[in-house]
Amino acid sequence: FDCGYYFYRKADLFNKMFSSLFGEDDELGSNVGEYSGKLDISRPPPPRNATGLCGLSNLGATCYLNSLLQTLQYTPEFRESLFAVGEDELGVLSDVENADNSMVRVIPIQLQRLLASLSLVDQQSASVVDLTNSFGWSSNEELQQHDVQELNRILFTAVDSSLVGTSGEHLISELYRGISVQEIVCKKCGKISSREEDFQDISVPVSTHDTLEQSLEKLYVQCELLEAANQYHCSACNQLVDATRACHLEKLPVILTFALLRFCYDFNKGERYKDNSKLVFPFTLDMASYCKTPGDDSSSLVYELFSVVIHSGSTHSGHYTAYIRDVDNLGNWTHPEDEPVQLQASPETGSVDFINFDSPVELLQTLLQQMGGAATVNKLCKSMQDQTGVTWNKRFKKQYGPLNKFLKSNLNLFSVDDVGTVSLAAHSTNKDEARKETEDAVANVVQSASSDSSNIETNETNLPLIAEAALKIDESSNSGGNIGSSHDTGSGGTSKPKAKNRELPPIGQRWFEFNDTIVQPVTENHITKMFQGKQSAYMLFYRKQSLSRPSEAVANVYYKVPLGLQDYVARANELLRKERQSFDIAMNTIKVFVHFSQDYIFANGALQRMAQNDSIEIFNLSIDRRRPVIELKQAILQTADGSFHASKDTVLHIAKRLPAGLHLYNCVTGDESLPIMTTDIKDGSHLFVWDGTQVSGDVIAVGKELEPVLLHITYPGSNENTTRELSSGFSKHTTIEQLKGILCEITGVPQADILLSYFTTSGKNQNPVVTALPSSKLHCSLAELKFTDGQKLTAERQVKKGLKTLAHTVADRQQRIVTVCVEDRISPIPLNAAWPVASVDINKDEKLSSLKKLIFAKFGLTEVEGGGRLRVDDNNEKLGPPLYENQTIISANITSSCRVVVEPGLAPSNNQILLYFTLYPFTADTDHQEIMIDRRATVCKCCSLMTEQSKLEGKDWHLKKTNWCGEAAEDLSDEDASLEDEGLKSGDLLLIEAGRLPPKGFVRIMVHLFKPFPEPVNNKTTSDETNPNAGLLSWVSTTLQSWISSSTNTGENSKPEDCSNDIAAMTEPEGTKETESQSDGQF
Of 63, 247, 898, 943, catalytic: 63
Q: Are 913 and 930 in contact (CB under 8 A)?
A: no
Query: Widest CA span of the chain, in angstroms?
Result: 130
What are residue 622's phi and psi, to 5 degrees?
Answer: -105, 140
291 part of the active site? no
All residues at 6 or more sequence positions from 670 whose CB lies less than 8 Å from its CB, including other chains: none
Q: Rg for the chain (alpha carbons), in Å? A: 37
Q: Rounded to an integer, what distance in angstroms lies between the CA atom of residue 879 and that of residue 984?
A: 18
Contact 117, 571 (CB under 8 A): no
Residues ≥6 apart with Cβ < 8 Å to 141: 18, 19, 22, 23, 132
The sign of the torsion formed by the CA atoms of 275, 278, 284, 285 equals negative
User: Using CA atoms, how far apart are residues 790 and 728, in angstroms rounded to an integer?
Assistant: 10
d(CA 881, CA 889): 16
User: Other CB atoms closer than 10 Å to residue 714's CB: what's the count?
Assistant: 20
Q: How far apart are CA 198 and CA 172, in angstroms?
A: 12
Question: What dihedral angle (degrees, nearest 10) is formed by the CA atoms of 641, 644, 645, 647?
Answer: -100
Per annotation, catalytic residue among 146, 209, 311, 319: 319
> What would the DSSP string read from start to end of 996-1039?
PPPPTT------------PPP-TT--HHHHH-TTHHHHHHHHHH
For residue 837, what is the DSSP state?
E
CA-to-CA distance for 416 and 377, rounded, in angstroms? 9
Our CA angle for 284, 288, 291, nearest 5°, is 130
Q: Return the ∠ at Cα 880 (arms to 877 and 884), rounded to 5°.
A: 165
Q: Are 606 and 661 in contact (CB under 8 A)?
A: yes
Beta bridge partners of 899: 821
CB-based contacts of 380: which residues, under 8 Å, 6+ apart? 364, 367, 368, 371, 403, 422
Angle between helices 106-120 and 563-588 (to 10 degrees): 60
For the chain, what's the residue count? 1083
Q: How many helices (H) and strands (E) does the chain have?
A: 29, 46
Exposed, middle or buried, 159 (CB in 10 Å: 0-12/13-18/19+)? Answer: buried
Task: Reply yes or no on whether 958 is catalytic.
Answer: no
For residue 367, the one-letter residue type is: L
DSSP per-residue letters across 690-726: E-SSEETTEE---SGGG-EEEEEEEEE-SSTT-EEEE
How far are the Cα atoms of 79, 258, 310, 311 from residue 540, in angstroms, in the given order?
Answer: 18, 5, 9, 12
For residue 958, list its beta bridge partners: 993
Cα angle at 310 between 306 and 313, to 5 degrees?
Answer: 175
Element (H, E) at 934: strand 929-934
Long-range CB contact pairs, 87-95, < 8 A, 24+? 87/562, 87/564, 89/165, 89/166, 89/167, 89/168, 90/166
Residue 842 is classified by DSSP as E
Measured between alpha carbons, how far is 704 from 397 in angstroms, rounded to an integer? 44
CA distances from 55 to 46, 47, 115 (A): 11, 11, 11
Angle between helices 148-162 and 63-73 (to 10 degrees): 50
Cis peptide before 253 (omega within 30 of 0): no
488: which DSSP letter? B
Q: Which residues are catalytic?
A: 63, 319
